[in-house]
A and B are shown apart, each in its own frame.
Chain A
Amino acid sequence: MSEKLLEIKDLKVRYVVGKEVSEAVNGISLTLNKGETLGLVGETGAGKTTTALSIMNMLPQYVSRAEGEILFHGKNVLKMKNHELRKIRGKQISMVFQDPMTSLNPVYRVGEQIGEVLSLHEGKMPKEELRKRVGEILEMVGIPAARQDEYPHQFSGGMKQRVIIAIAIACRPELLIADEPTTALDVTIQAQVLDMMQELRDSLNSSILMITHDLGIVASFCDKVAIMYAGEIVEYGTLEDIFDRTKAHHPYTEGLFNAIPNLNVITPRLNPIHGLTPDPTELPKGCKFHPRCPYATDACKEGAVPVLTEGEHSIMCRRVKDRFKQAEKEEQA
């Protein structure tokens, strides 16, 4: 059995601004094993980025409230002191942000920005050695070592994103959180960056939490998938569990698959999910998806929604109860 690296238990995050309370994350639980890649899928406002920031304990201090536990190597990140956090951030857990244009400091050379992380976490080292290490890291992300003396504006978007990834992996982190790392990039460049991340994952044996809204990236990159909606994980499973269209799914997952135009199938008309993502300050009661769900019954409008599990595949929906039972019966028969 593989080793548990990260365990999130019943995480709840609220943002309080004035009198408005925004319920960004509503009790999610997740496990990430060593060397595994988990795809966290959801639309704007689903709570993906908030979850990622909580793992680093980087939520904005005065406006957010986090409850629950985030265990990294068995220690609760949310309870850690600042000096403990500083040791972990950048060394054991690091993060890649969405926008390569603003994540680099324009006034420092690229090499200096990578070297800064190294000397922060591995102590001071002679200049020559630092240059050599920085050069090695740049080569890993496919940038010639000689370019470490250039400034960020001399790099293209794809290369900047690779520099950011280089900073993130400089200390060979055990967990890499990538928040929409390729959204701002073109497809051919995206392919290059994903390709490179795959190689890095294999050589460093890191775990990756890949936050994205693109199911295509998930299918080509991840082992496990969690689908988030309105701050909850509505479906979780292995890649096969989620992408096998013959299996039972949460209606939201179904909706997502139906809404994207598929390159391999010609559909005269798309099937959008009706309605809009709910406002996190006014979440609906009961199942948070029921106002948009084609199968919603009166029971869905009230009370807690059961999470039904079959193996590793779990779905937060009343409706799939029967389908899971059926599957069990067929297996027995």
Chain B
Amino acid sequence: MSVPVIECIELKKYFDTPFGKLHAVDNVSFKLEAHKTLGIVGESGCGKSTLGRTILGLHKATSGKVLFDGREIQDLPAKQMKPLRKEMQIIFQDPYSSLNPRDTVSQIIAQPIRIQGILKTPSEIDARVQELMDIVGLGKRFANTYPHEMDGGRRQRVGIARALAMNPKFIVCDEPVSALDVSIQAQILNLMMDLQDQMGLTYLFITHNLAVVKHISDDIAVMYLGQMVEKSETEALFKDPLHPYTQALLKAIPIPEIGHRNSIKNVLKGEVTSPIEPKPGCRFAPRCPYATDACRSVEPQLKEVKKGHFVACHLFDDAKECTE
């Protein structure tokens, strides 16, 4: 088997708050193969954005390992990290705050090239910026405009062009279409899929929109309060969701078809509990319809119950561990 582009081993990121430690990412392990897309799904505050940022080293991991091409990167000093930055990039959710309002489009796209010193002469840089703008479908006339003069879809294209500037291998996409209108969303999703095919990119695609994640991902991981509760190949997850939370999540999505009137069933009672100093046991237990005493005291571990289908739930304690 080839070396995965990204591998996380028991990755943890805790934040200090006045009320105790906030467990934003807790014991997350996964492998991501080259040219694949792993979708990370979960509700706000489940730690999915923190996971993406911790992998890139934008947050320092509390413990655990991040391997990029088999090399540990979580504790690298800035000097050794700098060349690796070329290989991994990030696309942000908010096309309004992710672009420096005082820079023109061409300055924004050229910035990573300048920082990394890939190209030296201004004419080379200009040519590369031009090429990148072509790739993401931005007209030449936008080169000297400022972000505030553009609409959300075009700004997001600028963000994508900037991420592509150094020919990265791996891109964290943090809710890249959530702030966009549906008709624009589709344009950006298509662009991202085309780019993946052309440039052999590997995506970690973070979103709360299940329809979008199903469309773009090969595998999906579901997160709840900092933990990965289920991970599987996309089709299998939607056909046969195992974790009660995943099941509830899928049932809660309103389907845009007739025959679904009054179909939204309030399957979950209660609210998301606090991620600060969580109690022992399954974190979903307070909302889970199947919760038992075991769930409230013992934390379930992620376990492969079918081939390639992992779940962390006591309901599957008796299921045999699937071994290849």
Does A touch B (CB under 8 Å) in the complex? yes
**Which A residues lie at the B interface, using CB under 8 A?**
43-44, 156-159, 186-192, 194-196, 198, 213-221, 239-240, 243-244, 255-264, 267, 269-274, 276-277
**Chain B positions within 8 Å of A258 at CB level:** 186
**Chain B positions within 8 Å of A195 at CB level:** 264-266
**Chain B positions within 8 Å of A159 at CB level:** 271
The interface bits of chain B over 252-269 (1 if a CB of A lies within 8 angstroms of the residue's CB, else 0) are 111111101111111110
Q: Which residue of B lies closest to A196 (CB)?
A: B266
Kindly state whether residue B73 has any CB partner on chain A within 8 Å.
no
Given A190-B252, A191-B267, A214-B254 in contact, is the A219-B260 Cβ separation under 8 Å?
yes
Cβ–Cβ contact B255 & A219, under 8 A:
yes
Q: Which residue of B lies closest to A260 (CB)?
A: B182
Cβ–Cβ contact B186 & A259, under 8 A:
yes
CA distance A43 to B151 in the complex (A): 13
**Chain B positions within 8 Å of A192 at CB level:** 266, 268
Cβ–Cβ contact B215 & A267, under 8 A:
yes
Given A159-B271, A194-B264 in contact, is the A262-B256 Cβ separation under 8 Å?
yes
Cβ–Cβ contact A264 & B255, under 8 A:
yes
Kindly state whether residue B276 has any CB partner on chain A within 8 Å.
no
- A/B interface sample: 20 pairs, CB < 8 A: A156-B271, A158-B271, A186-B43, A186-B44, A186-B208, A188-B252, A189-B43, A191-B252, A192-B268, A216-B256, A219-B257, A220-B261, A220-B262, A220-B264, A221-B264, A239-B258, A263-B210, A263-B211, A272-B186, A277-B183
Give A260 Cβ to nearest chain B Cβ, in Å: 5
Given A219-B256, A256-B183, A262-B211 in contact, is the A188-B268 Cβ separation under 8 Å?
yes
The interface bits of chain B over 141-167 (1 if a CB of A lies within 8 angstroms of the residue's CB, else 0) are 000000000011100000000000000
Kindly state whether residue B53 has any CB partner on chain A within 8 Å.
no
Cβ–Cβ contact B238 & A220, under 8 A:
no
Given A187-B208, A263-B211 in contact, is the A215-B271 Cβ separation under 8 Å?
no
Q: Which 8 A-B pairs have the closest CB atoms?
A: A216-B254, A272-B186, A215-B256, A186-B43, A261-B215, A270-B186, A191-B252, A273-B183
Give A141 Cβ to nearest chain B Cβ, in Å: 13
Q: Which residue of B lies closest to A46 (CB)?
A: B181
Cβ–Cβ contact A213 & B181, under 8 A:
yes
CA distance A20 to B82 in the complex (A): 47
CA distance A194 to B43 in the complex (A): 17
**Chain B positions within 8 Å of A255 at CB level:** 183
Kindly state whether residue B189 has any CB partner on chain A within 8 Å.
yes
Kindly state whether residue B113 has any CB partner on chain A within 8 Å.
no
**Chain A positions within 8 Å of B44 at CB level:** 157, 186
CA distance A192 to B264 in the complex (A): 9
Cβ–Cβ contact B256 & A257, under 8 A:
yes
**Chain A positions within 8 Å of B271 at CB level:** 156, 158-159, 189
Cβ–Cβ contact A219 & B153, under 8 A:
no
Cβ–Cβ contact A276 & B262, under 8 A:
no
Cβ–Cβ contact B181 & A44, under 8 A:
yes
Kindly state whether residue B29 has any CB partner on chain A within 8 Å.
no
Given A220-B260, A260-B186 in contact, is the A277-B266 Cβ separation under 8 Å?
no
Cβ–Cβ contact B258 & A256, under 8 A:
no
Give B67 Cβ to nearest chain A Cβ, in Å: 31
Cβ–Cβ contact B214 & A272, under 8 A:
no
Q: Which one of B208, B251, B271 has the highest number of Cβ atoms from chain A below 10 Å of its Cβ?
A: B271
Name 4 extra pairs, CB < 8 A, besides A214-B254, A276-B153. A44-B152, A220-B255, A220-B260, A261-B189
The interface bits of chain B over 31-50 (1 if a CB of A lies within 8 angstroms of the residue's CB, else 0) are 00000000000011000000
**Chain A positions within 8 Å of B236 at CB level:** none
Give A161 Cβ to nearest chain B Cβ, in Å: 12
Q: Which residue of B lies closest to A245 (CB)?
A: B257
Cβ–Cβ contact B190 & A272, under 8 A:
yes
Pick the contact of A43 from B181, B252, B264, B267 — CB < 8 Å?
Answer: B181
CA distance A162 to B182 in the complex (A): 26
Q: Which one of B210, B255, B266 has the highest number of Cβ atoms from chain A below 10 Å of its Cβ?
A: B266
Kindly state whether residue B185 has any CB partner on chain A within 8 Å.
yes
Kindly state whether residue B315 has any CB partner on chain A within 8 Å.
no
Cβ–Cβ contact B43 & A188, under 8 A:
yes
Cβ–Cβ contact B249 & A219, under 8 A:
no
Cβ–Cβ contact B253 & A216, under 8 A:
yes
Cβ–Cβ contact A263 & B187, under 8 A:
no
**Chain A positions within 8 Å of B251 at CB level:** 191
Pick the contact of A191 from B152, B215, B266 — CB < 8 Å?
Answer: B266
Give A236 Cβ to nearest chain B Cβ, in Å: 16
Q: Which one of A157, A191, A196, A218 has the highest number of Cβ atoms from chain B below 10 Å of its Cβ?
A: A191
**Chain B positions within 8 Å of A276 at CB level:** 151, 153, 184
Kindly state whether residue B212 has any CB partner on chain A within 8 Å.
yes
Cβ–Cβ contact A270 & B215, under 8 A:
yes
CA distance A264 to B212 in the complex (A): 12
Cβ–Cβ contact B249 & A270, under 8 A:
no
CA distance A187 to B268 in the complex (A): 11
Pick the contact of B189 from A186, A188, A214, A270 — CB < 8 Å?
Answer: A270
CA distance A195 to B267 in the complex (A): 10
**Chain B positions within 8 Å of A260 at CB level:** 182, 185-186, 211, 256
Cβ–Cβ contact A272 & B256, under 8 A:
no
**Chain A positions within 8 Å of B208 at CB level:** 186-187
Given A243-B257, A270-B189 in contact, is the A261-B184 Cβ separation under 8 Å?
no
Cβ–Cβ contact A219 & B258, under 8 A:
yes
Q: Which one of B189, B212, B257, B263 has the highest number of Cβ atoms from chain A below 10 Å of its Cβ?
A: B257
